[in-house]
Each structure stands twice: as structure tokens, then as C-alpha cells.
Amino acid sequence: MHKRILLIQGHPDANAGHLCHSLETAYASAATEAGHEVHRIEVARLDFPLLRSQNDWENGEVPPALARSQDEIVWANHLVLFFPLWLGDMPALLKGFLEQVARPGFAFAKGKRNPLTKKALSGRSARVVVTMGMPALVYRWFFRAHSVKSLERNILGFVGIAPVDETLIGRVGDMRPPATEKWLAKMETLGAQGA
């Protein structure tokens, strides 16, 4: 079954020389070749303010630069987020993007006592691809992948996106070309599968 896949590049540096960009390109190429429809958002190229109050989040307008991003999320039935682990979490720019686009009335019911009764983005799946300097096993077992679990549960799951799979890639600072090629091949396989 062919999917409508939205790739969200969360690396805050728009310079395409990072591993996150290479992983995204490998995924996109294989997905397109397999017949999936692929759209892309590069968060670092968007100009938007950070939210500074609950009132703005609940009642403010989504910034014009992000209205298209909301349309793309509605269009997609599978999302893939790529980002490096910074200070144990996603970069602030990606978090700011998610806060802006996942507003009440778009991502879940607005004004109800229990917003969980209407998760407006149900019916979509996701994959989270995270690069990091530490070994991925240390992050997964010692740190319990806390920030990725928070993203999966408190943002993606909160708005109805499920299932969410993850790909954790560690030791990127020491990564040699054979290991890089292995991860790019893994992204190609996932892209072809639309997974």
C-alpha cells in the first residue's frame, strides 16, 4: 500500500551536511522509488516565533509560515521526524515548531473539559529518527530514552498519532563510513516500506 509520507527535518542547522539530512535524503529517495508520495518540511528554514503564553497557544493564530505545515500534517498518513539529540532532548527549534503546529482546535479538541476525547490526528503513524553522540544503548537503557518517550507519549500520542516507531543512532561523532552506509541503507529499507 502506498503512503503519503511527511518528512520533518528537525536539525536546527539548515546546512545539509549533517547526518540527519543524509538519513532523510536516503529515506525520501527510496520511498519515492517505491511509489510513496513524499513531502518534506525543513524546520530550520521556517521563520516563526516561539510561544510565550498559554493564552497564545490556546487562542492565538498559527504563524503564517506554519499554516502550510499544518496542511502537510493533515495530508500525511505517516510522519518521519529526524533530529539530533541536544542536551538530552530534541533541539529547541523543533520543540517550538511542534508547540506551534499542535494547537488546540487543530491537533485535538478545543474548549472541551477532556481534550483526549478528540485526538484530531488519529489514523497516522510515525517514526522518530534520532542521532546522538553517546551510544544508543546507553541512551535507551541507562537514560530510558526519556526524551523520545516523552515525544511519543506527550506530543505524538496525545494528538492520536500511533503507532510510533523509533530509530536511535548513536556514536555519530565517531562514525566511520561503513557504519554510515549501514544506516543509510537502513533508511532506504524503511523508506521503501513506508515505515
C-alpha 153/C-alpha 159 separation (Å) is 9
What is the pLDDT, as a whole number, of residue 116? 57
pLDDT digits (tens, 9 = 90+) for 35-75: 999 999 999 999 999 999 999 988 899 999 999 999 999 99
Its pTM stands at 0.93
63 neighbors 48 (Cβ within 8 angstroms): yes
What is the pLDDT, as a whole number, of residue 110? 73
Residue 124 or residue 115, greater confidence: 124
